[in-house]
Amino acid sequence: MAVIRPEAAAALRRWREVLVGLAALLLGLYWAFLTGGGLLHWVGYVVAFGGAALILAGLQRARFRQGGGGPGIVQVIEGRISYFGPLSGGIIDLEDLRQLTLDQTARPAHWMLHAPGQPPLAIPTNAEGADQLFDAFATLPGIRTEHMLRQMHAEAGHVVVIWQSPDTQSATRRLH
């Protein structure tokens, strides 16, 4: 018998980094301002700063998470993204990735990962384990995570380019 309802447990899991960051921030502020000084006073500033950074990172992660229960399973292991779906699937290395798009015409929305020499890998945003993609996408050079998060929650109804590799961008530039 569960003590916490499944919906409440899911909400706590979604916002877990923010909650831990808030606890660290409060502890750091307590040590910094309400203790008698000394070394613990200065450690409090460091802990409070770390808590604030964890809150900011946690907010981005919570906005990225779409919940689970979607079709398929995503795994990210050492720079390799694997998707095993009911109808399709595939594996792509992050170093081979040339373009990342978000297809909002599909229901649910899909991440489209493009690499040369293979068909695009379509991953539903709500697939099991899709929250691991945030860390994988964050390693892409020049990605704008805030742009990605805004596009995820926009009702655009079309395919949006989230990221392109720098060598692909220079090859597609035109004079006019």
List the chain pLDDT tens, one digit each, 176 residues: 678 898 888 888 889 999 999 999 999 999 999 987 789 999 999 999 999 999 999 999 999 987 777 899 999 999 999 999 998 899 999 999 999 999 999 888 999 999 999 999 999 999 999 999 999 999 999 999 999 999 988 887 889 999 999 887 555 555 55
Cα(111)–Cα(136) distance, integer angstroms: 13
- Can you give the residue ranges of every domain in the chain? 6-64, 70-172
Cα(40)–Cα(36) distance, integer angstroms: 8
Length of the chain counted residue by residue: 176
Beta strand ranges found along 18-176 (DSSP E): 70-77, 80-84, 89-93, 99-103, 110-114, 121-124, 127-128, 159-164
Cα(155)–Cα(33) distance, integer angstroms: 45
| Residue-level pLDDT at 38 | 86
Answer whether 70's CB lies under 8 Å from 126's CB: yes
CB count in 10 Å sphere of residue 5 = 9
pTM, rounded to two decimals: 0.80
| Residue-level pLDDT at 81 | 96
